[in-house]
Structure 1
């Protein structure tokens, strides 16, 4: 049987990473500079280069799995479609009023981001449906048609429809959708009762608008990518990573792009989950540090922590995420990520107060750090790490990027060390520690702020710079184990290969658990399950390859916020509902430190299902065989702070850790550098992961 290949492609702000996995476990990797003007071009170029280097044919590719930031970039840069919104009279300004939450309590100068739909493109219809789904004021079809025509005449490129309480009764929304499809059948259309039929007006309106806003951009990008792949002879099907960690077909992603807004960071977390399960690591905190940002997430008891909603374009997470309200809110499930603006390209500056500031600005792919010798004139964290001896002073990416260490030292001395009155190595080490402390805030945001003690987790580090910082950060947090997977710099791409096809469905269902009609509840859940199974069947998954799991969002009656807990399979009876109540109480206590007594009524807020398509013979091999190897590297001096000073440090390959080695040690690979501090030891496990322990 001929060997086939699966491809994972992840686009970052600096590099586009490609991983090819053969059916026999062979791995080929490629790291290529991102083509910011046309992200699809770098993917096609990288694949073409890999074909030339390996002799693999384009026809041997069976599947391409892709994580992309194209949708989130459209929002961040306000380059989405010119969108019109149709809503209920009296609710025209929901997008601007938002939830009245302030992300910066004491910053009187903070301004809300401008709404994605300007006011003159927000039009209203005089209709009203109540919270029980009863029609109080019927929709006037003539008025609805006039509103639709007015938006078409304004030249809108997409339309969003979000009427009051349409989650309880979608009749009026469906009538307007019919008018749009009749008058402008090719115009992208986003209808709240189809994309997000859940309670809360701002959240539903914002989600529906974001979906419309990015639809034309995502569709255009996917068309360009498909054309480029076909032109290179790659006809394999294309799957997109969703924000929630599941895959969806490119056609489904074009129809509901709201699910791929945070597509980029999800692959690494899913890969970490798969490897953690394989190695019996029940609880891990993932740490992904690239060139621009660092991200953290948790895998607890083998399950990825997910958030029911998140904000796009809220800026990087610079403090407690308990302060929300910035950015544009999306109420769709997503991996619960915290992010800080700290990457290899983060700029190091001395501020007006004489303190060192690292990030959030980044040198990015162009011009890059000073040591890249491509015109960069501002010192960065990568420059600091070159000065400290942590990074090979001659090259990166297996020699693909030549470094100018002398230039990095000269600029760092002039712009950081001299203004601080510090010796060069101490200044560079200080910048390294400040970057680490910034990133520790992201780890605390997904652990301490969620009622979890980071000391009982292992730190799973990847990204081009994650393994370089992980040991020091674990030491600061009291964590005792760090795991670095194979190909860490490309692990987000590798992680895409572990994901399953997933579809998430939810609907509002507000009932007290103690008085809910069980027949009505079971019928509602079955309807969602049928929707999920129907979508999976359309994509070729049926029988044992189609799996549906259930969950419920609940709160104590009168609370504004809810928590999600799993719900067992099968028809629910009174005993099963009591078990769901108890699971909610346990999660409430774990998250907030307390729970109410048994007499406090618990309210269902929404019911949810996840449909998973499990690929036949799709499990990844236990052992993969990286196709690359590096020659022996001589030791070099590295600086470990004012106490330890400069130490002649062995520089190893990953394979050298078959025998346990005591730090300090530097492990150099094609795509990343791993630093083992004094007092820690490192070894390889039977899956090829580097395990660093104190």
Structure 2
């Protein structure tokens, strides 16, 4: 149960990015305090502890007054990307030893003969099999010998493994053999971490289930160690509040649950930004948005309709960044768990600008990160970045980044850009810098198209919601290329992933394979399956400390036309399941299929239900949500002298007004630049900006 301090005074949201760690504190009156500090990659907890002191003290608070500590972390994804996970073994069914090698035959580069599949996270000599078989109905056709299991476990222990993953054929239908293996592991090595697929992902599809279970076991010791170290550090500072982690699906979970199933928090950072954007947009009167989150390392795009973000049922990590089509998958390690549908490209502020062998300028995916950072940081970085280009073009004030706390060396950025890019390309430094910016915009537009036009959505019907430290720098240029007319830049846009944590609910997902034709299902039978999953969710949320009145259940189903290979996830209505509601669900599937792929099957083509899922959500009523952020000492108080900024060959260098957000109480035509503690917003010529009732900057493009 969550042990909440009785004298609750504030909630804290902390998101760790590749360059900065963002902190947002909201007290019980809704007053919001923010802080941005450099990430400490060698020990992420150090930046958190130092940042907390810097944000709590001005608010008149202390660590022991924290009621909830909400955290988005990159530890899981970084462990996979850097291949620094635990040394683990895998126990599978005889004949399926090489499923991690065979995969599902998806290739990200169809005609590249030099492309190699990622190395399996478990070396072949650590992949063992046992003679057992369960059929697709759950019937045992070949019993499992306990002595064979003991021998396999002893062999892995002799190899000094740090964890064991277990995935047997059809164990989603009958987990008894996996339970036996887990029992043997606990007897022979009580302290050894292990993951069994019937707990991690009790659903059909053998490779997807195996890969997900292996990833869970691979990162479990690292994530558990990080969370324990963070918890101990915070308790030493006097904090009594529970640590809640953002999951990839947009919900929160406890540190204990995240330590057991870290596969659910791999994409927690990007998810938090989307959650915050959607909740804030709805409160501001915008239900259909494209969230565009650009930080120091990557840019991420996601779409929300009718105030709901889109969930993907599987994604890959570690296969490189795809900036063309979402259909070309298979390059990384697959995770078949619900996650907010986010497209990502390697185009952040710290992305390195370089010239390829053909003499063309390229952006990323390599990033200068927080250390040494862009050239203009003057911390030893010697390769030009996107941030250096923005400084050269006059968009970023060298004296003002992070409210003036980080001084930039504009001359150094210009010299490196000129020597390493402009001269080799035979152009002047302004042209080179503007070209780098346009290439970055082009790459990021591909990410937006991946979640809109490639999903059957017209981006022109959405509002572009710009967040992240660099989102508002590029939003207008991207919107113009896409035909989007309206842009929303929220207050404290550069810390919005941390804001999202404070808007999220505690959430647990449970699923079950069904594999029946929808029109053949008896409602009573289906209802019993739902009830089993709902009971699990309610029981877990009750253990988390929530009452029945605080719990809400949402239903989902994965469906496909009979004979298809891949499913679509459909949100189902609340209420009883009847013959009429089954027909409504089938129609909803057909409508979504037509919208996404441009066609639907005829009525004589049956819809097949593959699996069902429920999400159990809970939140404390009246828990403080972020309000208007406090003013920072470095914030602009009044309009500053204009600065020259370059807006392409059409406009050239223009005198550009430098203004605080408050100057937009009356509509203002561009060009102008809004400078704030955590972000810079560029309003180009032929655009108008104003403030709405929620202090959002609303940019309208002509």
Q: What's the TM-score, normalizing by structure 1?
A: 0.98
Distance 1:512 1:149 in 2: 44
Instruction: Kindly indicate whether the alpha-carbon contact (under 8 Å) linking 1:316 and 1:341 is maintained by their aligned counterparts in 2.
Output: yes
Q: Does 1:405 align with 2:410?
A: yes
The residue that corresponds to 1:618 in the other structure is 623
Instruction: Kindly indicate whether the alpha-carbon contact (under 8 Å) linking 1:547 and 1:614 is maintained by their aligned counterparts in 2.
Output: no
The residue that corresponds to 1:14 in the other structure is 19
The residue that corresponds to 2:234 in the other structure is 229
The residue that corresponds to 1:181 in the other structure is 186
The residue that corresponds to 1:320 in the other structure is 325
Deviation at 1:423, TM superposition (A): 2.2
The residue that corresponds to 1:658 in the other structure is 665
1:361-380 paired onto structure 2 within 5 Å: 361-380=366-385
The residue that corresponds to 2:472 in the other structure is 467
Q: Which runs of 5+ in 1 are unaligned?
A: none
Q: What's the TM-score, normalizing by structure 2?
A: 0.97
The residue that corresponds to 1:639 in the other structure is 646
Q: Does 1:523 align with 2:528?
A: yes
Distance 1:621 1:469 in 2: 26
Deviation at 1:625, TM superposition (A): 4.3
Q: Which runs of 5+ in 2 are unaligned?
A: 1-5
Q: Deviations over 1:529-562 (max 9, x none)?
A: 0000000000111222001111111111111111
Deviation at 1:481, TM superposition (A): 0.5
Q: Does 1:114 align with 2:119?
A: yes
Deviation at 1:616, TM superposition (A): 1.4
Residue 2 to residue 501, structure 1, CA distance change in 2 (3 Å): closer
Deviates more, 1:410-419 or 1:101-110: 410-419
Deviates more, 1:488-497 or 1:353-362: 353-362
Instruction: Kindly indicate whether the alpha-carbon contact (under 8 Å) linking 2:292 and 2:465 is maintained by their aligned counterparts in 1.
Output: yes
- Counterpart of 1:478 (choices 479, 483, 487) is 483
Q: Deviations over 1:268-314 (max 9, x none)?
A: 10001101211221210000001110000011111101100000111
1:549-628 paired onto structure 2 within 5 Å: 549-618=554-623, 620=625, 623-626=628-631, 628=633
Distance 1:353 1:569 in 2: 57
Distance 1:541 1:445 in 2: 38
SS class of match (1:554): strand
1:335-354 paired onto structure 2 within 5 Å: 335-354=340-359
SS class of match (1:35): coil
Aligned-pair RMSD on alpha carbons?
Answer: 1.3
- Structure 1 segments of 4+ aligned residues over 4 angstroms from their partners: 621-628
Residue 602 to residue 645, structure 1, CA distance change in 2 (3 Å): same
- Counterpart of 1:630 (choices 631, 636, 643) is 636
Deviation at 1:434, TM superposition (A): 0.8
Deviation at 1:619, TM superposition (A): 5.5
The residue that corresponds to 1:671 in the other structure is 678
Instruction: Kindly indicate whether the alpha-carbon contact (under 8 Å) linking 1:541 and 1:613 is maintained by their aligned counterparts in 2.
Output: yes
SS class of match (1:236): coil
Deviation at 1:50, TM superposition (A): 2.5
The residue that corresponds to 2:656 in the other structure is 649
1:185-264 paired onto structure 2 within 5 Å: 185-264=190-269
Deviation at 1:605, TM superposition (A): 0.2
Q: Does 1:510 align with 2:491?
A: no
Distance 1:623 1:581 in 2: 44
SS class of match (1:186): coil
Instruction: Kindly indicate whether the alpha-carbon contact (under 8 Å) linking 2:12 and 2:502 is maintained by their aligned counterparts in 1.
Output: yes
Deviation at 1:100, TM superposition (A): 0.9
The residue that corresponds to 1:278 in the other structure is 283
SS class of match (1:194): helix
- Counterpart of 1:688 (choices 656, 672, 695) is 695
SS class of match (2:71): strand
SS class of match (1:635): strand
Distance 1:14 1:627 in 2: 20
Deviation at 1:624, TM superposition (A): 4.7
Q: Does 1:134 align with 2:172?
A: no
Deviation at 1:421, TM superposition (A): 2.1
Deviation at 1:361, TM superposition (A): 1.4
Distance 2:411 2:627 in 1: 43
Instruction: Kindly indicate whether the alpha-carbon contact (under 8 Å) linking 1:25 and 1:624 is maintained by their aligned counterparts in 2.
Output: no
Instruction: Kindly indicate whether the alpha-carbon contact (under 8 Å) linking 1:667 and 1:673 is maintained by their aligned counterparts in 2.
Output: yes
SS class of match (2:366): strand
Q: Does 1:419 align with 2:418?
A: no
Q: Does 1:125 align with 2:110?
A: no
Deviation at 1:621, TM superposition (A): 5.7
Q: Deviations over 1:90-123 (max 9, x none)?
A: 0010011000111101110000011011111111
Aligned length: 694
The residue that corresponds to 1:304 in the other structure is 309
Q: Deviations over 1:418-462 (max 9, x none)?
A: 222222212211111111111101000110111100000110001
Deviates more, 1:515-524 or 1:557-566: 515-524
SS class of match (1:243): coil
Instruction: Kindly indicate whether the alpha-carbon contact (under 8 Å) linking 1:3 and 1:24 is maintained by their aligned counterparts in 2.
Output: no
Distance 2:636 2:112 in 1: 52
Distance 1:26 1:570 in 2: 38
1:25-64 paired onto structure 2 within 5 Å: 25-64=30-69
Distance 2:569 2:197 in 1: 22
Deviation at 1:2, TM superposition (A): 7.3
